[in-house]
Amino acid sequence: MRFLDKHGPLRRWLSPKLKQAKISYRAIFARRARARSNARYIGITGSSGKSTTTALLAHMISGQAPAVSQLFRNTMDMLTRFLGSDLGDAEYVVIELGAAGPGDIGPMAAMLRPHVGIVTLVRLEHYSAFRKIEAVTAEKAELVRAVQPGGLVVLNADDENVRGMAALTGERVVTFGTAPDADYRVSNVHAAYPDMLSFTLRGPGGEVALHTQFPAPHFWMPVAAAAATALELGIASEVVAARTATFAPLKNRGEVLAIPGSPRFMLDTAKAPWHSLYLAFDMIDAASAGRKRIVLGHISDYAGSTRKYGDAYKVAREAADEVIFVGDNSHRSRASQEDRDTGRFREFTSVRAAADHIRETAVEDELILLKGSSNLHLERIALSYTHDIRCWADACGKQQDCRSCGLFDLPFEEHSRLSRRETRRRLGKDR
């Protein structure tokens, strides 16, 4: 890779020929690097929980052996870049594989050639591309098919679509879940904020009590997936327990921001597929707080009409004292006039207007859930309590969250004027 980067004429001559053959020169070097590597490669996919599983598993393994991970950037281009990079002395490489449509995972899995394949969950995601859950299942199953001889497949025993993938491989399969026959059985699940998630995991080697920093019970799934895999890889149970206890939730994925003298925020703004809404609302319902509010932005990945927003409101209003809809679908709640008159429901087309409302009406002991697709960047509502937010664009087009972007203290119109060097310098600041 470095050779071609330093030899522009050769690269310019070779690139069109590789493009004609539908292969990139990065892919060539990625395959070469993968073939030469002595590390054990672990691939993780699923409709939910794969990023948390990836990060947590690498965190667990790192307590006993060198490990690196790649998450969020789960496309073929990012995979080739990562595999072709310097992975140092890593003994384990943990990588998340995503799919925006049919045919995405197969080529990535073939390049990765995983020693371990993990499937967390199958739901009807990217509805416009897949249309049916059977298509999503088939796509995720490509990772299982690619597991190398002598490898390991780790499957969610509670999901019939995932469990059925065991028939697609001749390699060793272990399962995790609350199902009685799961190889790693989850029990005694408890989470009711401020009580964080804890549960017991019983496997072939005995019982492990796991205590986490997650605020909701549904996070048992990625934690159990990571723990079961780590134990199967020979990571000591005490290391698994200790590393689980020190792992902080990923940005905007069940993250809690407790700001002294201000409301407490639960940030769940990385994505908002329909199947995840009720889990988030249940998290608020079970929590203890003087007042609870839910802020809902855009919903994604659902079949049917926008009447889903009305269905979401019915459930949200039972879990919170006030529900706030934000964005260009905010008028679709079908909230009653009484709810509007009493302040049980509020709607705002812009994030800034919602943020202003919350700041004007906030009380110290309340708990506020921010839930929505990443495009609205609802996390700015919470960040406005610790930063001077000056970027309030409702459609900036950026996929990364505001803290990763690092430009939230500049008006959106000024972002394009910054040089790459200046942007990198700003990102180096402590956010």
Domain residue limits at 8: 1-33
One domain for residues 43 and 10: no
Spatial strand order of the sheet with 255-258 comes to: 255-258, 264-268, 366-371, 291-296, 322-326, 345-348
Do 180 and 301 sit in the same domain of this protein? no
- Nearest CA to 320 out of 355, 350, 357, 345 is that of 345
Same structural domain, 12 and 113? no
Tokens of 203: 């496997």
The count of other CB atoms within 10 Å of the CB of residue 134 is 12
What is the DSSP code (8-state) at residue 148? Answer: P
The answer to whether 155 and 232 have CB atoms below 8 angstroms apart is no
**pLDDT tens for each residue of 223-255:** 999 999 999 999 999 999 999 999 999 999 999
- pLDDT exceeds cutoff 80 at 1: no
Domain boundary at 197, 212, 246, which?
246
pLDDT, tens digit (0-9, with 9 covering 90-100), for 12-39: 545 555 454 445 667 777 788 787 888 8
176 shares a domain with 259:
no
Mean pLDDT across 398-413: 87
Residues 224 and 354 in one domain: no
Q: How confident is the model at residue 11 (pLDDT cuts 50, 70, 90)?
A: low
Out of 224, 246, 268, pick the residue that ends a domain.
Answer: 246
> Which is more confident, 337 or 406?
337
Residues 6+ apart with CB under 8 A from 430: none
Say if residue 178 is in the same domain as residue 45.
Answer: yes
Is residue 303 predicted with pLDDT exceeding 80? no
Residues 29 and 100 both lie in one domain: no
Residue where a domain terminates, one of 246, 264, 295: 246
Q: 85: pLDDT confidence band, cut at 50, 70 and 90?
A: confident
Do 181 and 301 lie in a common domain?
no
What is the spatial distance between Cα 114 and Cα 98, in angstroms, rounded to a whole number? Answer: 15
Q: Are residues 1 and 64 in the same domain?
A: no
Q: Has this prediction a pTM greater than 0.85?
A: yes
Looking at the structure of the chain, the number of domains it has is 3
| Residues 291, 399 share a domain | yes
CA atoms within 13 A on the CB side of 369: 35
**Residues 238 and 288 both lie in one domain:** no
CA–CA dist 225, 210 (Å, integer) = 12
**CA proximity to 125, closest of 253, 275, 279:** 275
One domain, residues 230 and 276? no
CATH code of the domain covering residue 398: 3.90.190.20
